[in-house]
Amino acid sequence: MRRNLSIANRQLQDTNKELAETGKIKEVYIARYLERCVTYLDKLELYRRTLAKMAMASRIDDLFKTIKSEQFIQDERKNFYTEFDKSFLELFPYFITSFNQLLLEEERIEPKPGELLTPELRIYALIRLGVTDSNQIAHFLGYSLATIYNYRSKIRNKAIGDKEKFEQCVMNI
């Protein structure tokens, strides 16, 4: 009986330690998320001021050129991908290796130098996080719905074993 209590107490201590670590991880990522939001709001404010200055100075051609440019959105999307990739790989450092073990050897995916996740890996990273709706994935990543379907189908066809259970295997990584 005493031995059982000792074992149960040790298990309880281990569980409490894991919960404390999980809580710390959540705090770090909530802080990172808030920092990202504030930084983005600051950038939007700077962009708004830039447009206002152009309008006040009657620099209409520059104003229209800036408004039509997609550079701001492209830069922000790239920053979003980088932040997402870093955060995800900190939580799941072996994701790429584990994911590739689910694929045929000749079909494995390796990010290019300077790249953390490829578009395919990013889609499956979201699936690993429980975001399985293609509409939601497309919205998060700024891709068309057709692109998401194509990537998912292409990767599923490269899977080892039961292709219908592939995404469940990804969620278990």
Asked if residue 85 has pLDDT above 90, the reply is yes
CA 39 to chain centre: 18
pTM of the model: 0.76
Helices (H), 57-144: 60-68, 71-91, 95-100, 119-128, 134-141
Domain-wise residue ranges, the chain: 1-69, 70-173
Higher pLDDT, residue 75 or 21: 75
Predicted local distance difference test score (pLDDT) of residue 15: 76
Half-sphere exposure of 92 (CA within 13 A, CB side): 22
Beta bridge partners of 103: 159
Of 146, 156, 90, whose CA–CA distance to 124 is shortest?
Answer: 156
Secondary structure of 139-155 as H, E, C letters: HHHCCCHHHHHHHHHHH
Asked if residue 12 has pLDDT above 80, the reply is no
Q: Report pLDDT digits (tens) over 111-162.
A: 999 999 999 999 999 999 889 999 999 999 999 999 999 999 999 999 998 8
CA 28 to chain centre: 16
Asked if residue 63 has pLDDT above 90, the reply is no
Amino acid in position 61: D
Higher pLDDT, residue 54 or 12: 54
Distance CA 33, CA 110 (A): 27
Token pair recorded at residue 70: 């997609």
Predicted local distance difference test score (pLDDT) of residue 35: 85
